[in-house]
Amino acid sequence: MCQLKCNEMRVFRFLVLSTLFVCVAGRAENPPQPRIDLNWVFITDQLTWTAPPKDPELPQYETALAKIVVFYPSGDYVDGVFWVGRYTKEPIFILPGNGFAIRRGHWSRNGNQIKVKSRSSYSEKVILTPTPESSSSEEMWVSEGIAEGRICARLKAPSGMYIPLAGLKNLSEFESIINASR
C-alpha cells in the first residue's frame, strides 16, 4: 500500500513539475512586451487632417492617416498605420474599426543613425496594399536633437519625419492591437 502511494506521489510530482516547466519554457520563448511608455513612441509629423463632416448628427472630429512607431528599449520595433481622429484641444485617438497594418522588427543605433529592420506582420481591413518589397525592409533613420527620456527629439526616415507622440487617448487599445497582432 505504501509502495503504491509513493509511486502515485512520484507521478504527481512529475506531472506538476513538467507542467510548470512547460509553462515557464513557453513564456521564455515569447516574453510579453512591456507596457508602452509614451517616451518610446513617435508619430508621423505634419499629418493631413480631414475636416469633420458638416452633418451635426455625425461625430465632429478631424481624421488623418498616421504611422505610429514604437522603439522599445529592448531593441524591438513595432509600427502601425492607423486612421486617427482628434477633437479640438484633445489628444488624438485611434479610430476603431477602420483598419490598420502592423510591422515588427528590431532597431539598433550607431551615433545618430538608427537601423530599422522590419517586416509586415498583420493587417486588418487592408488600408495599404503591401507589395513583395514592402513585406520586409531595412531602413536607415537619422535621429535629430535631444529629448529627455527619448531616443531623440525627431526622426528622419525614408518615409518622412516623425515626432514624439504627445498623447494617445486610447493607448491601451493601441497596445492591445500591436500585442494581439503577433
User: What is residue 126's predicted lDDT score, i.e. its pLDDT?
Assistant: 57
The reported pTM is: 0.76
User: What is residue 125's predicted lDDT score, i.e. its pLDDT?
Assistant: 72
User: What is residue 133's predicted lDDT score, i.e. its pLDDT?
Assistant: 47
- 65-86 tens-digit pLDDT: 999 999 999 999 999 999 999 9
Nearest to 63 by CA among 89, 95, 101, 99: 95
pLDDT-based confidence at residue 128 (cuts at 50, 70, 90): low
Q: What percent of the chain has pLDDT over 70?
A: 75
Among 53-62, 103-112, 154-163, which stretch is predicted with the lowest mean pLDDT? 53-62
User: What is residue 48's predicted lDDT score, i.e. its pLDDT?
Assistant: 94
Amino acid letter at 137? S
Residue with cell 476603431: 96
Average pLDDT of the segment spanning 34-55: 92
Task: Look up residue 39 and give its three cell numbers.
Answer: 517616451
Q: Which residues pair with 105 in a beta bridge?
A: 77, 118
